[in-house]
């Protein structure tokens, strides 16, 4: 039994396979979560949740990727009626453009183990310290807001091919925002756990930012030299990775489309030899080493469930290395299959130093804290718009001398990489806007000499 | 009416959850049982690409105990799990109580007894067979693909049926069903040099059944027939010259500007700083209530959870508050906020106006947006052509696309689907690469005229995000065409450095 009083997830997966009259993939995902939200120096909401999502995929799988096949998918939460769910999948069966043979494989040791739980006790290092943090903030004339969460998703994937995979994905995050005298500062951290001491280190980072904001410096909009910290780089690179659809590029609708047809794979996109990759075994960013998906899209296929995942170089030494393809699409296009992976890392080989080192090497520029409300404006160039948030610090002669107001920017992440002139070493980071969607990122800080601040924002 | 689960089970869940909450010392408790069925069908170039049929079922219990909120949710539905959830919620309230600087209080709301309500629809969209959905989207895709210059077509429909049961310690028991659909087609045209443009249908998402796709409320045949030529003209159109223009904005574009710059800005939890960590705050702080000049005197904005076919329309909200309609901006001045019970009480407001919502039985209700709508001119009012006729040098903007606004809802930037040059009071062909950028109060303050009821349209979205963990809500916004003077227009190609 699971914590929610539901049947064993592994047993449920086996029963679903047993009830199917055609080749079948069963996915059971048990998620337990706990979170606490706070604002205005007080807790506002909290919650604990126990979720179960069950997916059945009935397939007529061909012998080769891309050959005719069919799939029927049904997805339910909670205590499912096995026979009813299989009947629903059968009723939803339709021809599939993404058909491919079922992924073969063995059974993971421990496939039958129960799902892993979490609860509010895992947040104790933070929740227990909040009252003190609120008191310290009030004494300093500041107001704290933030969010702390921990979840564990245990995924069970079983296939008629004999494949049995199980993966445990713990995910934690803590974010802290301080506001004082018309200024704000942010710090955030992601990881597998929310650890001891993280609240204190984030408090210190927020205090530093608010201290820098004590002196206001007027800076007009226009093109400025900026230092993007890893969090801001993470939020930009998520858009770059999301745009890396092979089918969309072949259709001619993305920045990775080659004029006249085809894709830009192999083209040198950045003068600096950046590597942008996803890898389930990346240290500190570990995630599921196999594909588990309940939907098919232009480049992800339910037929590929269980596909082993490995290091995937989206950019390799500045060249476009891979675009996402399911096996059927890859076969049609003569490209390697590349499935989505739940982490993202960017690095410049040989780069060293930190954000502080980039600041120290700056004659005059702006140190950003993070970016916000980033949206695509033009897919041709992957032009994005968004705002700076929680501190735009003015750097002169290697030191922060004050803070400017916020700005709206218009920039393409691809152009940002192409124009970067200095790069720090890569560190674990958490995207201010996108971290809740992709927690596991590692990025460097970047210096961009001519960042487009399109207009001022009065917002704090 | 049908509920999310068997009525006898609902009764057992209610007794168990509320009984455990009461015996555990809760001063207030609410239990929700929900079944939300979501379907998405996507065709690429007339062939099925994605078919999602997802049903979420579960129970959520929220308690207020010694001035502290606690919440627990689970996909399990039954008496024992419900009692366990109530105990977990009480435990959560106790764990976080030491970090609550002030006790939570709730604005009063009378008990409403038993309420049953269904949004109006004729054909339940989630019961339409997948084959029928695919068949209609195939037919529509074929029509577009047959037109010269259309290289690719993406066809999409999303359908949702939300069955929600709520019971609270005060004695309100609400059983509600909401149905909504959003069909959309997008055509892509590629020039020989690789340049391309996309154009999609303007049909808004609505709280209607499948009959909407069969012509009840929108003329899809007409829109599909016109789309290829409009796309061809867009691909040939000149790039806009950046500068300052008078804008005539169609309701198919303006609804999103209302959503971002009025809807979110007048959520009192944001204005009080309770969303400062993520979604943000608001420039429209309570000290401006009754005095803040939000826009020109022709600006009247209403929040309404009773709008016919509105995506945020309900009978009872997720805190047991009856749906209401209320002023937000009157004669251009800020006059009201969207509220939930705790935020209302924190400001000494006697009653919530019913804007609490949770997007899942596993999520806690938070203050979410009502259908926030800009009112048309009284009487017949001007037509869109009338508004255009008053512009010497301007742009007429149709359909929404890219959007972004800052964390205090000052600075925004929007693009659109189609942009027409306006010269000497007449449309003078399409433009490309247009984005408009403004500060909220400057923009609405420059609104010279609103169109009449003949220009009014209820737009909206399924995907409004807020809160942590993030929740998604559907919401509608009605508005007429409007004329706004002297707005900054960017050329997006130049913005990208090209």
Digit-coded pLDDT (tens) for A343-390: 999 999 999 999 999 999 999 999 999 999 999 999 999 999 999 999
Q: What is the pLDDT of residue A195?
A: 81
Min distance B480 CA to chain A CA atoms (Å): 25
- Give me the mean pLDDT over the A24-52 stretch: 97
A50 touches B: beta carbon within 8 Å: yes
Task: List Cα–Cα distances, A372 to A375, A413, B268, B277, in angstroms.
Answer: 9, 14, 21, 12
Question: Would you say A174 and A436 are in contact if contact means Cβ atoms under 8 Å apart?
Answer: no
Query: Taking the domains of chain A in order of start, what are their residue ranges?
Result: 9-200, 215-460
**A387–B404 CB contact, under 8 Å:** yes
Residues of chain B with pLDDT under 50: none
Chain-centroid distance of CA A384 in Å reads: 17
Tens of pLDDT, residue by residue over A333-354, are 999 999 999 999 999 999 999 9
**A51–B410 CB contact, under 8 Å:** no
- Give me the mean pLDDT over the A443-460 stretch: 97
Going by C-beta distance under 8 Å and a sequence separation of 6 or more, which residues neighbour residue A230? Answer: A355, A424, A426, A427, A429, A441, A442, A443, A444, A445
Q: What is the pLDDT of residue B134?
A: 97
Task: List Cα–Cα distances, A150 to A176, B73, B163, B360, in angstroms.
Answer: 15, 15, 29, 19
Q: Which residues pair with B316 in a beta bridge?
A: B322
Question: Would you say A77 and B57 are in contact if contact means Cβ atoms under 8 Å apart?
Answer: yes
Chain-centroid distance of CA B387 in Å reads: 27
Tens of pLDDT, residue by residue over A397-429, are 999 999 999 999 999 999 999 999 999 999 999
Min distance A138 CA to chain B CA atoms (Å): 11
- Give me the mean pLDDT over the A71-97 stretch: 96
Task: Identify the burial level of B230 via C-beta atoms within 10 angstroms of its C-beta, where 0-12 means exposed, 13-18 middle and 19 or more buried.
Answer: middle
Q: What is the pLDDT of residue B122?
A: 98
Among candidates A184, A375, A458 on the partner chain, residue whose Cβ is nearest the Cβ of B439? A458
Cis check: omega of the bond before B469, within 30 degrees of 0: yes
Q: What is the pLDDT of residue B2?
A: 77
H-type alpha helices, A110-177:
124-139
Q: What is the pLDDT of residue B498?
A: 75
Distance in angstroms (rounded) separating the CA atoms of residues B414 and B416: 7
| Interstrand relation of A143-159 and A94-96 (parallel, antiparallel or unpaired) | unpaired
Residue with structure tokens 């675009």? A323
Give the architecture (CATH level 2) of A9-200: 2-Layer Sandwich (3.30)
Number of H helices, E strands in chain B: 10, 24
Among candidates A76, A92, A380 on the partner chain, residue whose Cβ is nearest the Cβ of B55? A76
Among candidates B75, B101, B406 on the partner chain, residue whose Cβ is nearest the Cβ of A134? B101
Task: List Cα–Cα distances, B416 to B254, B420, B460, in angstroms.
Answer: 10, 11, 15
Going by C-beta distance under 8 Å and a sequence separation of 6 or more, which residues neighbour residue B273? Answer: A39, A40, A143, A145, A179, B281
Question: Would you say A232 and A432 are in contact if contact means Cβ atoms under 8 Å apart?
Answer: yes
Distance in angstroms (rounded) separating the CA atoms of residues A344 and B440: 36
- Give me the mean pLDDT over the A103-116 stretch: 96
pLDDT averaged over every residue in chain A: 97
pLDDT band at A1 (very low <50, low <70, confident <90, very high): very low
**A376–B410 CB contact, under 8 Å:** no
Note which residues in 96-115 of chain A have CB less than 8 A from chain B: 96-98
Note which residues in 259-278 of chain A have CB less than 8 A from chain B: 259-260
Task: Identify the burial level of B379 via C-beta atoms within 10 angstroms of its C-beta, where 0-12 means exposed, 13-18 middle and 19 or more buried.
Answer: exposed
Cβ contacts of A376 on chain B, cutoff 8 Å? 402
């Amino acid at each position: 039994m699971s914590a929610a009083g539901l049947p064993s997830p592994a047993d449920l997966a086996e029963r679903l396979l047993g009830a199917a009259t055609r080749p079948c993939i069963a996915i059971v995902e048990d998620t337990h979560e706990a979170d606490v939200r706070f604002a205005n120096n007080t807790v506002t909401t909290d919650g604990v949740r126990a979720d179960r999502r069950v997916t059945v995929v009935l397939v007529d799988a061909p012998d080769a990727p891309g050959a005719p096949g069919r799939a029927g998918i049904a997805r339910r939460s909670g205590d499912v009626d096995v026979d009813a769910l299989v009947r629903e999948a059968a009723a939803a069966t339709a021809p599939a453009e993404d058909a491919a043979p079922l992924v073969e494989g063995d059974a993971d040791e421990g496939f039958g183990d129960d799902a892993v739980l979490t609860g509010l006790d895992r947040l104790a290092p933070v929740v227990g310290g909040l009252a003190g943090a609120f008191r310290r903030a009030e004494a300093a004339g500041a107001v704290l807001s933030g969010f702390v969460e921990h979840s564990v998703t245990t995924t069970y994937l079983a296939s008629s091919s004999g494949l049995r995979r199980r993966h445990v994905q713990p995910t934690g995050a803590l974010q802290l925002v301080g506001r004082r005298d018309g200024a704000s500062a942010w710090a955030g951290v992601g990881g597998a756990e929310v650890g001891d001491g993280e609240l204190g280190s984030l408090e210190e980072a927020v205090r530093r930012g608010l201290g820098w904001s004590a002196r206001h410096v007027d800076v007009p909009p226009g093109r400025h030299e900026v230092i993007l910290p890893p969090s801001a780089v993470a939020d930009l690179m998520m858009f770059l990775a999301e745009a890396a659809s092979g089918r969309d590029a072949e259709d001619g609708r993305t920045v990775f489309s080659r004029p006249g047809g085809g894709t830009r794979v192999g083209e040198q996109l950045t003068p600096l030899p950046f590597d942008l990759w996803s890898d389930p075994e990346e240290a500190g960013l570990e995630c599921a080493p196999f594909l588990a998906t309940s939907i098919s899209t232009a480049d992800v296929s339910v037929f590929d469930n269980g596909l082993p995942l490995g290091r995937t170089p989206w950019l390799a030494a500045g060249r476009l290395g891979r675009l996402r393809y399911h096996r059927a699409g890859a076969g049609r296009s003569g490209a390697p299959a590349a499935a989505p992976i739940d982490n993202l890392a960017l690095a410049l080989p040989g780069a060293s130093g930190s954000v502080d080192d980039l600041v120290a090497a700056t004659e005059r520029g702006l140190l950003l804290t993070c970016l916000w409300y980033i949206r695509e404006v033009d897919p041709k160039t992957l032009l994005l718009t968004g705002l700076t948030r929680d501190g735009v610090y003015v750097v002169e002669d290697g030191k922060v001398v004050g803070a400017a107001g916020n700005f709206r920017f218009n920039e393409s992440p691809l152009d940002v990489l192409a124009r970067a002139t200095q790069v720090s070493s890569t560190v674990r980071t958490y995207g201010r806007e996108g971290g809740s969607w992709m927690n596991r990122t590692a990025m460097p800080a970047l210096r961009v000499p001519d960042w487009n601040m399109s207009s001022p924002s009065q917002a704090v | 009416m049908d509920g999310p689960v068997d009525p006898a089970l609902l009764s057992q869940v209610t007794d168990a959850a509320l009984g455990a909450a009461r015996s555990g010392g809760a001063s207030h408790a609410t239990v929700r049982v929900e079944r939300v069925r979501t379907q998405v069908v996507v065709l690429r170039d007339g062939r099925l690409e994605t078919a999602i049929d997802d049903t979420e079922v579960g129970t959520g219990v929220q308690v207020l105990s010694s001035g502290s909120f606690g919440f627990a949710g689970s996909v399990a539905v039954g008496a024992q799990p419900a009692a366990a959830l109530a105990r977990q919620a009480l435990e959560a309230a106790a764990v976080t109580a030491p970090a609550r600087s002030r006790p939570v209080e709730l604005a009063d709301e009378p008990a409403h007894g038993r309420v049953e309500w269904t949004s109006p629809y004729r054909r339940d969209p989630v019961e339409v067979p997948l084959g029928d959905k695919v068949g209609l989207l195939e037919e529509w895709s074929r029509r577009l693909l047959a037109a010269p210059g259309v290289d690719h077509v993406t066809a999409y429909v999303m359908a949702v049926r939300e069955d929600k049961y709520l019971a609270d310690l005060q004695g309100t028991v609400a059983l509600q069903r909401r149905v909504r659909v959003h069909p959309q087609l997008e055509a892509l045209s590629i020039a020989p040099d690789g340049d391309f443009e996309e154009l999609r249908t303007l049909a808004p998402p609505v709280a209607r059944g499948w009959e909407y796709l069969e012509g009840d409320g929108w003329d899809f045949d007409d829109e599909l027939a016109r789309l290829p030529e409009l796309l061809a003209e867009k691909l040939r159109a000149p790039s806009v010259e950046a500068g300052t223009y008078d804008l005539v904005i169609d309701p198919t574009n303006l609804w999103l500007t209302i959503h971002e710059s009025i809807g979110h800005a007048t959520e009192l939890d944001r204005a009080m700083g309770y969303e400062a960590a993520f979604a943000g705050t608001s420039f429209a702080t309570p000290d401006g209530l009754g005095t803040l000049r939000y826009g020109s005197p022709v600006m009247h904005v209403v929040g309404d959870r009773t709008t016919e076919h509105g995506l945020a329309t309900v009978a009872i909200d997720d805190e047991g508050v009856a749906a209401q309609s209320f002023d937000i901006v009157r004669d251009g001045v800020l006059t009201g906020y969207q509220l939930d019970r705790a935020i209302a009480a924190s400001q000494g407001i006697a009653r919530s106006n019913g804007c609490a919502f949770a997007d899942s039985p596993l999520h806690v209700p938070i203050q979410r947006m009502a259908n926030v709508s800009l009112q048309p001119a009284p009487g017949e009012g001007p037509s869109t052509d009338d508004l255009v006729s008053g512009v010497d040098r301007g742009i007429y903007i149709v359909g929404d696309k890219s959007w972004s606004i800052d964390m205090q809802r000052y600075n925004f930037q929007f693009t659109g689907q189609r942009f027409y040059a306006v010269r000497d009071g007449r449309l003078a062909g399409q433009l490309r690469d247009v984005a408009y950028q403004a500060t909220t109060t400057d923009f609405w303050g420059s609104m010279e005229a609103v169109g009449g009821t003949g220009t009014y349209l209820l737009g909206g979205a399924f995907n409004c995000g807020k809160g942590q963990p993030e929740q998604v809500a559907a919401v509608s916004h009605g508005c007429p065409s409007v004329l706004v003077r002297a707005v900054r227009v960017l050329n997006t190609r130049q913005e990208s450095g090209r």
